[in-house]
Structure 1
Amino acid sequence: MTNRRFILKKRPIGEPKLDDFELLETPIPEPEEGAFVVRNHFISIDPAMRGWLDDAPSYMPPVELDDAVRATTVGRVYKSKNPEFTEGQWVLGLNKVEEYSLVLPGGFTSPIDVDIVPSPSIFLSALGAVGLTAYFGLQDAGQPKEGETVLVSGAAGAVGSMVGQIAKIKGCRAVGIAGGAEKCRRLIEDYGFDAAVDYRGKDVDTLTKEIGEAAPDGVDIIFENVGGDILDAGLMNLNEYSRVILCGLISEYNTEPKGARNLWQTIVKQTTVKGFLIRDYAPRFAEGGAEVASWIADGKVKFDEHIESGIENSYEVFMKLFSGQNTGKLILDVSPD
């Protein structure tokens, strides 16, 4: 038996290319005292992974060359020399795109109860960083008030779709921006948004006008996942004392940063702009997970998972992040046969 690993061979320049990576077979790691090995079943494919590939200052160190790409995984303990983790136990942790991950003492890994969920993959979507990013990002960073309007970019994505639904639970008007008629339909019919704006083929002026029509009373909160022209158009519709939550800027991850040309609107409208990272909320994950789980049980929140299989398909699945081909939380299934 071997461990197949999705290795970073070169720092990507612009859009990642196949030859930036290598699928490598290595021996399954052996744990030393205090460590354990996880047999990964599901791997979360997230936009943040692109930033980790660059050798640039960030909130986490870059992935090292000739090492497997960093990712959040769900799996079972394969072999353990840590008394707190037993073989066969299901765990969630920040590991790598590989079949077997070595977790050293102090590693970010925690047990999960898979008996209470339809699939362990939900800990990478609604009950994982995705759902909790939406939960804490909107509620704590955005401070929504009943009757306000929340504008969500990347709204058909895993985080964005949940932000819109939570906004509705909080009594807000939810306006989503997405690419294509089908995604806009899903925003309204599946996720309960009040209005949807299709950004495809439109310049900033057109987008500004259409956002204004979808949010006639202005925008109180922007939950930003995309950046670029979409953010610029949203900024032109802000109300006074509005809030902009910067969760992601995926449109600029493979290009030189453009910056926000309409940032001056945040001065005019006395807007608060806040960068958001879910890591700071780790001590409150149980709190957020419990409430999200109750909303799911009550039918107030729906979520979709886009699961593809095979570690050998890591590159193709990763690139779906940038093409918009996925129709839900993107997850790679590397479960053993």
Structure 2
Amino acid sequence: MGEEISNKQVVLNNYVETYVKKSDMSLRTSKIQLKIPSGCDGAILVKNLYLSCDPFILSRMKKLEGHYIASFTLDSPISGFGVSKILDSSHPNFKTGELVWGFTGWEEYSLIKDPNILFKVPDKDLPFSYYTGILGMPGMTAYVGFFEFCSPKKGETVYVSAASGAVGQLVGQFAKTAGCYVVGSAGSKEKVDLLKNKFGFDEAFNYKEEQDYNAALKRYFPDGIDIYFDNVGGKMLEAVLNNMRLNARVALCGMISQYSLEQPEGIYNLLNVIIKRVRMEGFFTSDHYHLYPKFMEMVVPLIKEEKITYVEDIAEGIESAPGALVGLFSGRNVGKQVVVVARE
């Protein structure tokens, strides 16, 4: 048997109905052996270094039947994307000491029984936390949604909602590298300044200060929108459909404005999709991980040559994880929300 040590975990106390609260989660300390138990062939034991706060986690905190992703189990650790170091392995493709990213528990140590869903960290010259964001799922989401679904052309107009978040900040910068005119929206002056001064967006606005989204979009896109990367859904999506150009494209990435509503808002102007011949498509990044090498080939040089930049909002310690997740849905974070569990 291996050494037995304490293992702090973030567990789900009760299912969330609308808005997530810190009291929906609690910190628990259990015990774990630092060796893979017998009967767990093909598993790995990891020390979690970084955890990623992502909007989809809220979906799993709700009691939903027939949903696209299974609900968490009460009184058990929640899970999400993270970066981890392998402490013990009974899998031939994963070795002790290697770093991996992918699904893991919100806890200090995790026994992962199916590591085939994980990716090895291929480039150790960049911050390991980047694999919760720009080099992980959010980066892949931005790449797949923008390049594979929206097929941008030089000179086109691009609008990105929730543009200062983990995905939005990258979509805007990818659009600039493609020669597009880019406008983003965010929820504070600080975030708007970040979009224009750090991420290179052509324009940006605070959606909370706009009484009429339709009028705001006409102001920034007098000739219409070619590409909309949608992270929020709801009334903003409806306003965008009034301002689309002929043969425009919409990548439906997320609908964060709807996740906490008991009754999601409807879209009442879908006739625009027909009139403007708009292609509107939703996607799951997990369907496209075969493109990860292609994505890395593009994005790593851009980072190292400082042609794109990335902002993280760091919360220290697993004790900070519940508050960091709650803050994600009130827009408190600036950039990618990451929880540091341990530094390697």
TM over 0.5: yes
C-alpha distance in structure 2 between counterparts of 1:310 and 1:334, whole Å:
5
For 2:190 and 2:162, the matched residues in 1 are separated by 14
**Residues 138-167 of structure 1, C-alpha deviation per residue, up to 9 Å, x if partnerless?**
000111111111110001111111101111
**So what's the TM-score if we normalise by structure 1?**
0.94
Q: Secondary structure at the match of 2:204?
A: strand
Percent sequence identity is 34
Alignment of 1:269-308 (within 5 A): 269-308=276-315
CA distance in 1, matches of 2:267, 2:21: 28
**Cα distance in 2, alignment partners of residues 248 and 115 from structure 1:** 30
Q: Distance in 1 between matches of 2:197 and 2:276?
A: 33
Among residues 211, 221, 234, which one is paired with 2:217 in the alignment? 211
Q: CA RMSD in A?
A: 1.6
Other structure's SS at 2:124 match = helix
Measure, in 2, the Cα distance between the counterparts of 1:48 and 1:201.
27
Cα distance between partner residues in 1 of 2:324 and 2:317 = 10
One-letter amino acid matched to 1:80: S
Partner Cα separation in structure 1 for residue 11 and residue 249 of structure 2? 39
Q: Is the 8 A contact 1:199 1:230 kept in 2?
A: no
What is aligned with 1:66? 75
* Change in 2 beyond 3 A, CA 1:19/1:107: farther
Task: Quote how far apart the aligned CAs of 1:84 are.
Answer: 2.4
Structure 1 segments of 4+ aligned residues over 6 angstroms from their partners: none
Which of the numbers 222, 226, 237 marks the counterpart of 1:220? 226
Structure 2 Cα separation of the partners of residues 234 and 180 of structure 1: 20
Counterpart in the other structure of 2:160: 152
- Per the alignment, residue 83 of structure 1 pairs with 92
Q: Is there any run of 5+ residues in structure 1 with no aligned partner, and where?
A: none
Matches within 5 A, 1:1-337: 1-28=5-32, 30-31=35-36, 32-56=40-64, 57-105=66-114, 107-113=116-122, 115-117=124-126, 119-203=127-211, 206-255=212-261, 256-335=263-342
Q: What is the CA-CA distance between 1:106 and the residue it aligns to? A: 5.0
Q: Distance in 1 between matches of 2:325 and 2:116?
A: 24
Cα drift, residue 210 of structure 1: 1.6
The separation in 2 between residues aligned to 1:54 and 1:274, in whole angstroms, is 25
Q: In the alignment, residue 186 of structure 1 is paired with which amino acid? A: L
Work out the CA distance in 1 between the residues paired with 2:104 and 2:223: 44
Contact 1:37 1:103 in 2 (8 A): yes
Count of aligned positions: 334
| Shift in Å, 1:261 | 2.7
Compute the TM-score of the two structures, normalised by the length of structure 2: 0.92
Structure 1 Cα separation of the partners of residues 227 and 108 of structure 2: 40
Structure 2: tracts of 5 or more residues without a match:
none
- What's the offset of the Cα at 1:110? 2.5
Cα distance, 1:44 vs. partner? 0.7
Q: Deviations over 1:285-304 (max 9, x none)?
A: 11102211111122221111
